[in-house]
Amino acid sequence: MYTNSSPTSLLLGILSILLSTHPHVIASQSPRDNGVRARSLSTCLLASGVRNFSMAGSPGYATIFDFSIQNLRFAAPGIRKPEAVVLPTSRRGLQRAVLCARSASLAIRVRSGGHSYEGQSYTVSGGVLDGKAPFVVIDLMNLNKVRVHAASATAWAESGATLGEVYHAVAHSSPSNRSSLALTAASCSTIGLGGHISGGGFGPVSRKFMLAADNVLDALLVDAVGRVLDRRAMGEDVFWAIRGGGGGSWGVVYAWKLRLVPVPDTVTVFTPRREGSVDAMAGLVYRWQFVGPALPDEFYLSASLTIGSSSSSSQEDRDLRNVAFTGLVLGPKEMAMSVLNERFPELGLAEAEVSEMSWVESAARLAGLSSVDELTSRVSKTKYYGKNKSDYVQRPISRDSLAAILRYLSDGPPAGYVTMDPYGGAMARLSATATPFPHRAGNLYALQYGVTWDSDAGEASVSARIQWLRSLYAYMTPHVSSNPRAAYVNYIDIDLMGFDESLGPVRLASSVSHARATWGAAYFTVENFDRLVRAKTRIDPANVFYNAQSIPLH
């Protein structure tokens, strides 16, 4: 039903035939060459009725290109920019954008919300072709429609919708604002649905309702030859792959059919912060490890530790640490208080610290917004310069080791932190091979380490921060998963490709065996990675959709 059948598909058909025999190879590039490609792109787009695009150098180009860059580290002038940003406004426009980019011999980057930690939706850095390929960004921000069908608790949402836009649409489809349907996904409201689901999608109700990707019922994928494929047409291997195998490998997911989940009218939110000596805080975190991952599915309680000492470098300050908790309970505050005070009395949760609200209000609150309507704003207030890394903890870390870790963090640069997200619950009851996301049973919590810096930080201070983050990662080795040392693809980390202290990230060709032994195993396990390679080889045999860590061909 989604194959080409209208007369306007003639052009697409012809282009498809041409392209399928013409693998995407980027040969030598000169500025003049790029000019030819750019002109050929704009001619093709105009001829196909795609009007909203911006060519490099034209007025408005920088505004539209920069708009969705979340990690400003990749907005630097030294980083290669696309020849054009194309913003399709319809499914057909999206198909044509893909075909026109290919016929102009431009590489493609697909961007939904632009939150990739490594800028993979709008740069060509870090990959095999390392910064040299002339490319185009297909930006989905105008494809953000959400159609909720409350009676069947489902929604079709275009990939360019932000999580906030989806949350708002879902909540307002209910008769009152005390919503009873929700989407399970992350707290940050400006994340794009496209990239988020492609990598899994963990959030505060995942222990109850699993990941965003676990709730995908169908999807429409625009493939490398411009066809639109639904679940049946793409086949179960590809449908499996697009739900957690990482974005940018398969084609462009135009839209997703989502299962919405039932939430109570009243939920409870709390964000208590505790401060004390290193030993006291190590004790609190030690206990959290047993509580957070084992609470009833309705409970989410994450912990966050700061990097760097709070202010001066006096010994007293360095010995004082704080732990910030974030809690969401799908239920009233009596339930939150009684369970937490029984299972985690050390937290000392007080009634004054908890607030009841609707689920959509909690979504706004946890996103740091001041109103529910702000969920629809695509303007990010959390842009940053930074680098993140991730780990999984499978056995509780000892109290002494936690104290040592807290002391180690004291020596770090300020403006960094470590987040501990509890896993378990329903997401751990799905098998590790049910989707590409394998971090199910046996994982207590995910660790995320992040450092940030200011716009005026010099090169030396930036590299000192990144080095420090890498040394923290090395320091954590005995405490986290091993063989493979696991990581979460939505927290994409180029270092996993191999890292050389003196040379920086090793730019190895993305051979299957290298990928399989490094980031492939870390993100997916070897078994899932091998299935992803098979799906990739089937859906995109010319490797049109690639980035530094896209799934390689057989």
**43 Cβ contact list (under 8 Å, min separation 6):** none
**Pick 447 or 515: Cβ nearer ligand NAG:** 447
Would you count residue 248 as binding ligand FAD (CB under 6 A)?
A: yes
What are the tokens at 124? 């060509």
How many whole angstroms separate alpha carbon 335 and alpha carbon 136? 51
199 binding partner (options ligand FAD, ligand NAG, none; Cβ < 5 to 8 Å by kind): ligand FAD
Task: Give the residue, chosen from 198, 306, 443, 543, that forms a contact with ligand FAD under the rule CB under 6 A.
Answer: 198
Q: Please tell me the chain's helix, strand, coil percentages from 3-state DSSP, rounded to the nearest 5.
A: 40, 20, 40
| Contact status, residue 378 vs residue 141, Cβ threshold 8 Å | yes
Burial class, 57, CB count within 10 angstroms (exposed 0-12 / middle 13-18 / buried 19+)? exposed
| Of 269 and 337, CB closest to ligand FAD | 269
DSSP string, 209-239: H--SGGGEEEEEEE-TTS-EE-HHHH-HHHH
**CA distances in angstroms from 497 to 424, 505, 512, 519, listed in the order given:** 28, 7, 12, 6
Segment near ligand NAG (CB under 6 A), from 41-49, 74-82, 380-388, 428-436? Answer: 380-388
What string marks each residue from 380 to 419 as x (binds ligand FAD by CB under 6 A) or -? Answer: --x-------------------------------------
Nearer to ligand FAD, 406 or 552 (CB): 552
- Of 93-101, 191-199, 304-312, 455-463, the window that binds ligand FAD (rule: CB under 6 A) is 191-199
Q: Which does 448 bind (CB under 5 to 8 A by kind): ligand NAG, ligand FAD, none?
A: ligand NAG
User: 42 touches which of ligand FAD, ligand NAG, none (CB within 5 to 8 A by kind)?
Assistant: none
CA atoms of 124 and 507, how far apart (whole Å): 13
Q: Could you say which of ligand NAG, ligand FAD, none residue 203 binds, taking C-beta under 5 to 8 angstroms by partner kind?
A: ligand FAD
Least distance (Å) between residue 11 CB and ligand NAG: 22
Under 8 Å between Cβ of 131 and 125 = yes
- Among 82, 88, 113, 422, contact with ligand FAD (rule: CB under 6 A): 113
Tell me how many residues contact ligand NAG (CB under 6 A): 18
132/122 Cα distance (integer angstroms): 13
Q: Which stretch binds ligand NAG (CB under 6 A): 77-85, 336-344, 415-423, 536-544?
A: 415-423
Q: Which residues of 456-480 are buried (b: 16+ CB within 10 A; e: fewer)?
A: ebeeeebeebbebbbebbeebeebb
For residue 425, give every residue at least 6 positions away whose Cβ sits within 8 Å of its Cβ, in sequence order, or none.
206, 207, 208, 295, 297
Report the Cα–Cα distance between both ends of the chain, in Å, rounded: 30
For residue 283, what is the enclosing H or E element?
Answer: helix 278-291
Helices 459-475 and 399-410: crossing angle in degrees, nearest 10, is: 170
113 binds ligand NAG (CB under 6 A): no
The nearer residue to ligand FAD, 88 or 412, going by C-beta atoms, is 88
Among 306, 388, 410, 481, binds ligand NAG (CB under 6 A): 388
141 binds ligand NAG per the rule CB under 6 A? yes
Which residue in 34, 40, 90, 142 binds ligand NAG (CB under 6 A)?
142
Single out the residue of 48, 123, 249, 419 in contact with ligand NAG (rule: CB under 6 A). Answer: 419
Give residues with Cβ within 8 angstroms of 392, minimum separation 6.
439, 443, 445, 446, 447, 480, 481, 486, 487, 488
Residue whose beta carbon is closest to ligand NAG:
450
Binding mask 57-96 for ligand NAG (x = CB under 6 A): ------------------------------x---------
Positions touching ligand NAG (CB under 6 A) are: 52, 87, 141-142, 176-177, 372-373, 382, 384, 386, 388, 417-419, 448-450
Contact residues: ligand FAD, CB under 6 A? 70, 109-117, 120-121, 140, 159, 186-188, 191-192, 194-196, 198-203, 247-248, 252-253, 382, 490, 547
